[in-house]
Amino acid sequence: MLTVHSYPLAVVLCVLTMFCWGSWANTLKMEPKTYPFSLFYWDQAVGYLLLPLIIGLTFGSFGSEGRSLFADLRQGSVATYAWALLGGVVFNLANILFMAALDLAGMAVAYPIAIGIALVEGVLINYIAQPKGSPVLIFSGVAFITLAIMLDAMAYRSCQNDNSEPGRLRQGISLALGGGILMGLFYFLVQRSISIDYVHLTRGKFGPYAAVLVYSAGSFISNFAFNSYLMAKPVKGPRATYADYFRSGTFKFHAIGMLGGVINGIGVTSNFVASKAASPAIAYGLGQGGTMIAAIWGVCVWKELKGSSKSVNVMIAAMFVFFLAGLSLLVTSMLR
């Protein structure tokens, strides 16, 4: 398999993760509003599973280091499979809870709660597990990125009328809390299945390509429980059935959803491949910067804050300053 030993290259892959994690949801905006989110989520789940398989059969099977994809899968222990599958299940549940929180409470509430918790918790847990880099710089960087997320939420909040029903808002906050806690755990769970050394792989442990494929399989399989429930009891809008998936979804609709899954899959694969050279804590922290990439799409492409006040523009500008400062601290934390 092809591995990464250079820290600068690992940072490049983590930045790619950031762009992918912050961009895949654009495909949801490309779908017609009549196409249920739960059906779109099935499409992206398919793409999210296919991409790691394709990369595993190519980059994960080329080169002289480590093991090829199928050889790696064959030697994995039961515990190794369990950790990777559990990571996929936890991620999928976290993602669905987060999406539901966005629907109920809006971006201004869901993002700072869910992603803020996930960012701080994920970096802390992964740093404790594998302490690499300057802790002062790492957690200072996390603090700056968290401030950027909060400023982003405040900017969106000031542009929206507070018409949320108290019950829906409380439910949205609860879902955001649960989604954030789970989102901060999944990466650590998958890391438990991965060998510490990518060149001389530990017997029974996975290399990054096999781990991501099994993780994605766990996410896909859990969809039969989580997304089936979402289809039957959507947060809003009409319920959907599996017959609707084939009846109302055209080839174009399915292709757009799968593209979202492929983009997301590129991000997660790049991140785990880079995680040893960059350290899991830094790789995860940089990847979660995708929130700001999503904000850039919203402001610059989708014009979500068009015609906003001067104070909103100031908050957006400050958001980008804190975001770039946080990223710089994370990147330089391994250079000391």
Digit-by-digit pLDDT tens for the chain (336 residues) are 999 999 999 999 999 999 999 899 889 889 998 899 899 999 999 999 999 999 999 999 998 888 999 999 999 999 999 999 999 999 999 999 988 887 777 766 777 788 889 999 999 999 999 999 999 999 999 999 999 988 888 887 787 655 556 677 788 889 989 999 999 999 999 999 999 999 889 999 999 999 999 999 999 999 999 999 999 998 877 899 999 999 988 999 999 999 999 999 999 999 999 999 999 999 999 999 888 888 888 888 888 777 788 898 899 889 989 999 999 999 999 886
- The size of the chain, in residues, is 336
At position 17, the amino acid (one-letter code) is: T
Distances, alpha carbon 327 to alpha carbons 131, 141, 173, in Å: 18, 6, 27
**Which residues touch 5 (CB under 8 Å, ≥6 apart)?**
277
- What is the pLDDT, as a whole number, of residue 306? 79
**CA 195 – CA 191 distance, rounded (Å):** 8
- What is the pLDDT, as a whole number, of residue 309? 87
Name the token pair of 118: 């996930």
**CA 256 – CA 42 distance, rounded (Å):** 11
- What is the pLDDT, as a whole number, of residue 248? 83
Judge whether 27 and 242 are in contact, CB under 8 Å: no
Burial 208-219 (b: 16+ CB within 10 A, else e): bbbbbbbbbbbb
- What is the pLDDT, as a whole number, of residue 85? 98
- What is the pLDDT, as a whole number, of residue 162? 52
Judge whether 98 and 288 are in contact, CB under 8 Å: no
**Which residues touch 26 (CB under 8 Å, ≥6 apart)?**
260, 297, 301
- What is the pLDDT, as a whole number, of residue 210? 98
3-state SS, one letter per residue, for the chain: CCCCCCHHHHHHHHHHHHHHHHHCCHHHHHCCCCCCHHHHHHHHHHHHHHHHHHHHHCCCCCCCCCCCHHHHHHHCCHHHHHHHHHHHHHHHHHHHHHHHHHHHHCHHHHHHHHHHHHHHHHHHHHHHHCCCCCHHHHHHHHHHHHHHHHHHHHHHHHCCCCCCCHHHHHHHHHHHHHHHHHHHHHHHHHHCCECCCCCCCCCCCECHHHHHHHHHHHHHHHHHHHHHHHHHCCCCCCCCCHHHHHHCCCHHHHHHHHHHHHHHHHHHHHHHHHHHHHCHHHHHHHHCCHHHHHHHHHHHHCCCCCCCCHHHHHHHHHHHHHHHHHHHHHHHCCCC
